[in-house]
Structure 1
Amino acid sequence: MTATLPDRNISDLVLVVDDVPDNLALLHDALDEAGYTVLVATNGEGAIARALQALPDIVLLDAVMPGMDGFEVARQLRARPETAHIPIIFMTGLTETEHVVAAYGAGGVDYVTKPLRPQEVLARMTVHMQSARQARQARNALDAFGHATMAIHADDALASGRAVWQTSLARELMQRYFDSPAGAVPDEVLVWLRQLARDGTEPRPLTVVREARQLVLSLQQRTADDDWLVVMREVSDAAAVAALQQTFRLTLREGEVLYWAVKGKTNRDIGDILGSSPATVKKHLEHVFEKLGVETRNAAAALAMSKVRQLGNWHGPG
């Protein structure tokens, strides 16, 4: 049975990793009282499994544990695009310079020393949680409008590359179109990036065709870390309908009716396509006009085409 994940709209999610039960209990109680949802793990393997399943907003990670230590846990989380963005605060009794350097080198953003003081831990978390929350909202907003985004770190010759981070929709599209494992960059994409780097001209999109669907990849910019920032959008009837739904807060059927209306289909045509009567189609269009704030079919079509073209999901009447 699939585990039920916590509701992110209720509270932020913290993963606490420590092999000492007293430390887990101390932090769990303090974080719970502060309004956080808390998950715990007692070893490195469990921490990675929990992080991949729940994608916490922040990880409090014990540096020294039997078996896989916290430094290796952090390196593995940083190496995976689905968890690379999660801030990690190390908890350690090791304050020598080399251990602090090791914590940051493994991908930590901060550290607290043991014995743990819950108020200090909460104060350190607050600083990093705000950035993590903003980043999560930005990724969710990109996905909500069909803007699947991926940052690719490539070697100097672009002979190989890996995804530094991906939005959830980007991971789904990479799997669907390339059967690509997490973090891997398909050869087809690397060849495209090599050509862009060699030409030095206005970046041209890469179109990947799979049966009736098309995936269009566009290079947006290079990041501050000199990674390639790529945006993907799916071009299909389904993608356009989904964009209309999201943009205008329509039901699925209203989105379908508006889509075919923009395509120039009559109410009878739309009814035949969707298996509805022309009268039902007319009723759906009335609801659409009301939600779009227009009074005519032409006005609705013009507004729909304008908005969805801005989002890059429209591929014209036909």
Structure 2
Amino acid sequence: MLRPHPLRDVVLIVDDAPENLSILHSLLDKSGYMVLVATDGARALDCAHRLPPDLILLDAVMPGMDGFETCRRLKEDFRTRPIPVLFMTGLAETEHVLQGFQAGGVDYIPKPIRPAEVIVRIASHLRNSRLIVQTRAAIDAAGQAVVAVAPNGEVLWLTPLAQSRLRGSLDVEGRLPAALCDWLHGALRASEDRPFELLTASEELIVSRLRRGAHGEELLMIQCKVGSPEPAALMQAFRLTPREADVLYWVAAGKTNRDIADILGMSPRTANKHLEHVFEKLGVETRTTAARMALNLVTPHIAQ
């Protein structure tokens, strides 16, 4: 849905107290924000799905669905998960503050609110959120289907292209398929870059490790499998020997060095030596990157 004022940040205020809504609405409107309001958790979820705001000010204590449960539900949905949530509450006990952060909130504003502080906090979180959104949008605009995964298999964030390709493959809790999690854990233990083939209802995908993030999350690339180029094409494109081209062909097909050695009738050490020569000629350091370059000969979209 298109926003009527694309240059104005949208803030959703969720509070069951009319006087609080009035004060905050006036404050934010005068500060240049487009303001939406909801008086309970259910209306907040509906509003956030119909017109996703840039930030949510959420009252922690409300009748029915409280702010903590509302925040948890927002964070369960990929469409609303990236929206920063700032809790507003008069509950100053540590357990309530921690509960807000555990539910997915990024900040805590005590009541009664201090207008200047609220505006500064909102501006700071919007700035940080905007940088994250722009970075992910840039990745998606470049045609990269990337997903960040926590050690337990939970999807932390993903680009729209990755979301499209994984649609229907994630479980109800937003985690990767069990087989894919097992592959990732095995790859981490063995320090391997071997890709994983994921068969969905509509296509076959190639999942490759990109790198580990600053907080332990794994960044994965999701590609559509369209087949590997013939060894002759690899020889010509990368100036490889026949054996090097054979090795690269099977690397692009997702085979391990031991698999390649068995297929080509050579020792794993010889297969590894050929692969080292391939890396040198391609100017790469990992088999994932080498496979991606090989698959690009079939169609540039394979690396997208």
- Aligning the two structures, in what range does the TM-score lie when normalised by the shorter sequence? 0.5 to 0.7
- Asked if structure 1 preserves the Cα contact closer than 8 Å seen for 2:8 and 2:32, the reply is yes
Aligned mate of 1:130, from 127, 130, 144: 127
Q: How has the CA–CA distance of structure 1 residues 210 and 69 changed in structure 2, closer, same or farther, with 3 Å as cutoff? A: closer
Mapped pair 1:193 → 2:175: no
What does 1:154-169 align with in structure 2 at a 5 Å threshold? 154-155=151-152, 161-169=153-161
Aligned mate of 2:206, from 208, 216, 233: 216
Partner of 2:298: 316
Q: Tell me, what secondary structure is at the counterpart of 1:154?
A: coil
State the TM-score, normalized to the length of structure 1: 0.64
What does 1:163-312 align with in structure 2 at a 5 Å threshold? 163-175=155-167, 178=169, 183-201=174-192, 203-208=193-198, 214-234=204-224
Aligned-residue offset at 1:180: 5.7
Mapped pair 1:31 → 2:38: no
Match of 1:206, as an amino acid?
F
Q: How has the CA–CA distance of structure 1 residues 227 and 211 changed in structure 2, closer, same or farther, with 3 Å as cutoff? A: closer
Q: Percent identity?
A: 40
Aligned-residue offset at 1:130: 0.8
Aligned-residue offset at 1:211: 9.0
Distance 1:311 1:14 in 2: 44
Segments of 4+ moved more than 6 angstroms: 309-313
Distance 1:49 1:15 in 2: 11
Say how many residue pairs are matched.
Answer: 237
Distance 1:313 1:146 in 2: 15
Aligned-residue offset at 1:31: 1.7
Deviations 1:217-276 (A, max 9, x none): 22112223322221223466xxxxxxxxxxxxxxxxxxxxxxxxxxxxxxxxxxxxxxxx
Match of 1:103, as an amino acid?
G
Distance 1:311 1:65 in 2: 55
Match of 2:194, as an amino acid?
R
Aligned-residue offset at 1:175: 0.9
Aligned-residue offset at 1:200: 1.9
Mapped pair 1:59 → 2:56: yes
Aligned-residue offset at 1:95: 2.1
- Asked if structure 1 preserves the Cα contact closer than 8 Å seen for 2:151 and 2:216, the reply is no
Match of 2:223, as an amino acid?
R
Deviations 1:176-204 (A, max 9, x none): 6x376571312342233133134323x12
- Asked if structure 2 preserves the Cα contact closer than 8 Å seen for 1:87 and 1:128, the reply is yes
Partner of 1:255: none
- Asked if structure 2 preserves the Cα contact closer than 8 Å seen for 1:90 and 1:108, the reply is yes
Distance 2:17 2:131 in 1: 32
Distance 2:145 2:78 in 1: 13
Q: CA RMSD in A?
A: 3.2
Q: Tell me, what secondary structure is at the counterpart of 2:182?
A: helix
Q: How has the CA–CA distance of structure 1 residues 153 and 80 changed in structure 2, closer, same or farther, with 3 Å as cutoff? A: farther
Partner of 2:236: none
State the TM-score, normalized to the length of structure 2: 0.67
Q: How has the CA–CA distance of structure 1 residues 315 and 135 changed in structure 2, closer, same or farther, with 3 Å as cutoff? A: same
Unaligned runs of 5+ in 1: 156-160, 237-308
Q: How has the CA–CA distance of structure 1 residues 219 and 144 changed in structure 2, closer, same or farther, with 3 Å as cutoff? A: same
Aligned mate of 2:71, from 74, 77, 97: 74
- Asked if structure 1 preserves the Cα contact closer than 8 Å seen for 2:170 and 2:176, the reply is no
Distance 1:207 1:8 in 2: 43
Q: How has the CA–CA distance of structure 1 residues 90 and 211 changed in structure 2, closer, same or farther, with 3 Å as cutoff? A: closer
Q: Tell me, what secondary structure is at the counterpart of 2:83?
A: coil
